[in-house]
Structure 1
């Protein structure tokens, strides 16, 4: 596959999906209440949902560089927490600053990570919690959960209700072979051989979680739910020292 074609597919790449439990072939996934994923954030730009994010401390929301790079001033962003409904309910916070990894590669999507700094601090309760960040990678075959308000089917509008889906970590070398060398150590892969469990448009920046610990950030992929290509996620473990240096977490 040519690098030009790879880039085209990257730009068309989706990254989300939806559901806890449910059958593997239910593309739309399963609705989930925010109490199940209280770290989930909706990143809104000009009063519309743009990306997902996760609360990692009272002052910082983690997302992807893709969601931030080249964007307008922080004041145009709102971080909505504590709600299962898109652009409604919960509490909202404005961003005082935003930044991304200085070595983010827009072509390859390597080091796809960024942060919003909150004006003030996020108030925690049963539906609003920070999520711990991983320090060791998961083994292939481990079950993980991804969540967001992204499309339930390729090309569909975003749902009002938050969704989540359980899927499985895939060996990096196998994933790299599928993607013909595009997977770096800063990426992890998750999906099912038959497809149907993935993230999609609008989910970028959201969390990939196991045992209430975040291991990945929804980043990119070839299409949504499209076998044999799994979803690709930013590898938090490989970027852990950078995260700690930037935000002290």
Structure 2
């Protein structure tokens, strides 16, 4: 069977000129790709991550003069840190129009429920669910005067179960519930809120895995390969743009066909 190829040559536009964006988990992986895509599209971007060193180094590569980015160290599970990060963004750039709530953790896996550590459970929930809640709580008021768009990072397991990853799947189900409910609450304010559901994406976090594991993960997708962070970033950019002006409260899968099986 022939597998279609994607050369990754994704065109950039200036559709985000004049917009201010807030991206969590921006130091590496999907978050870094999203931040770059929005910056390439003309936005000013607040890059938020708990990894201060990695974040500063990446921001320096993206924006050497520091004119269109602001680096903010924050743990998204800490609501005061998130509130401060949103305040810094609006004070620095004069508003907030776009947000990509990407920060998250897979937690220990594969681990069955009966063997899952309580402290690990609480931490994964605090980051994946509490982090999205905290971001929405403070981003929405910042956008109410002029509207905006938000994308939350779900997963291909936002609507299905997966062996050994029950806790992670539960958090991504919760992200979808937050997304849909928040979209209903904010529609009258001109704020659109969607979620994306990536499959297995080749990011730095996967670099430590044995090659045979990566090959096996790739084969889980009917397209026959791992996804690219840039492909997820392009989906996020679409949902944040006016091209998706009639989309809200939806999960947009980018999983290489995983959930179609």
* Higher relative strand content: 1
TM-score using structure 1 length: 0.33
Higher Rg? 2
* Higher relative helix content: 2
